[in-house]
Amino acid sequence: MLDPEIPIVSIVDLGIVRDVSADRVLLTPTYTGCPATLVIETMVRAALDEAGFGDVAIETTLSPPWTTDWITESGKAKLKAYGIAPPTPAGTHAVECPQCGSTATEEISRFGSTPCKAQWRCRDCLEPFDLFKCH
């Protein structure tokens, strides 16, 4: 199932699904106030019903808190292909422009179109892009 706000990565790729067992699915929100949380729960419920698992419970946990470290490698590759720079742990390496690969990039705004993204700009190809914030 795809994320409602970044419809290119699955909620498993994003690390939102923490555990799946025979009787429950455990979810965690990315951000405390992420408005997609309820939508995701509704989508999971619909998918479970459709697959004939009407009795499976959906639980939400805050602990341990979600981190971008949980985004899978395939999830990061998909984000990049979609034009969103995947998160890079602070201080490790520079943010790479998802369009041209240049690391001559700068932050425009700490917050972007959703709580999990920041707005950046590439100084080489001059394109603005979203950066999935390290969190």
Segment near other proteins (CB under 8 A), from 18-26, 45-53, 77-85, 112-120? 112-120
Query: Which positions from 15 through 54 interact with other proteins, judged by CB under 8 A?
Result: 29, 31-35
Distance CA 67, CA 6 (A): 17
Q: Any contact of residue 115 with other proteins (CB under 8 A)?
A: yes
Pick one of Zn ion, other proteins, none as the site partner of residue 110 (Cβ within 5 to 8 A by kind): other proteins
Q: Are 68 and 14 in contact (CB under 8 A)?
A: no
* Strands 24-27 and 57-60, sheet pairing: parallel
d(CA 58, CA 27): 7
Residue 95 neighbours by CB distance under 10 Å: 21
Q: Which does 82 bind (CB under 5 to 8 A by kind): Zn ion, other proteins, none?
A: none
Rounded distance between C-alpha atoms, residue 26 and residue 15, angstroms: 11
When CB distances are held under 5 to 8 angstroms depending on the partner's kind, the choice from Zn ion, other proteins, none that residue 32 binds is other proteins
Q: Taking the complex as a whole, how short is the minimal distance between the CB of residue 97 and other proteins, in angstroms?
A: 19
Three-state DSSP class for 132?
Answer: strand
Q: Which does 102 bind (CB under 5 to 8 A by kind): Zn ion, other proteins, none?
A: Zn ion
Positions that interact with Zn ion (CB under 5 A): 97, 99-100, 102, 122, 124-125
